[in-house]
Amino acid sequence: MRILLLILMLAIALFKLTFISPALAAETSNGAKIFEANCASCHIGGGNILISQKTLKKEALSKYLENYNSDSIEAIIHQVQNGKNAMPAFKEKLSAEEILEVAAYVFQNAEQGW
């Protein structure tokens, strides 16, 4: 059931990102708050204080996240949920909606160059 809900939320997010609307601003605003509370200590300004080449910039995400080029939001969601190496998993700390919101925020900023 959680996977079905996550897929539905992902489809909605992709639709919103395809047809950028004022609602996206609110979603990414909440994503910004979640990012500041959970991610910014390591990824301030889209960087990475532990592994400098693995930033949240589009080029690095394309290189280091599996499937980023074909399904960007899903690739970010997977990374946030499961973590990898020094990055902790957030699937037990954040709700599916919060993960989607922070993924949308990261994606939007990566597209805009942070």
Lowest mean pLDDT among 15-19, 76-80, 98-102: 15-19
pLDDT at 1 over 90: no
Looking at residue 2, its pLDDT comes to 76
pLDDT at 22 over 80: no
Which residues, listed in sequence order, are joined to residue 87 by a DSSP beta bridge?
A: 84
**The CATH fold of domain 2-112:** Cytochrome Bc1 Complex; Chain D, domain 2 (1.10.760)
| 8 A C-beta contact, residue 114 and residue 57 | yes
Q: Coil, strand or helix: which one is 59?
A: helix
Give CA–CA dist 13/42, Å, rounded. 25
Helices 72-82 and 96-112 cross at an angle (nearest 10°) of 130
Looking at residue 87, its pLDDT comes to 96
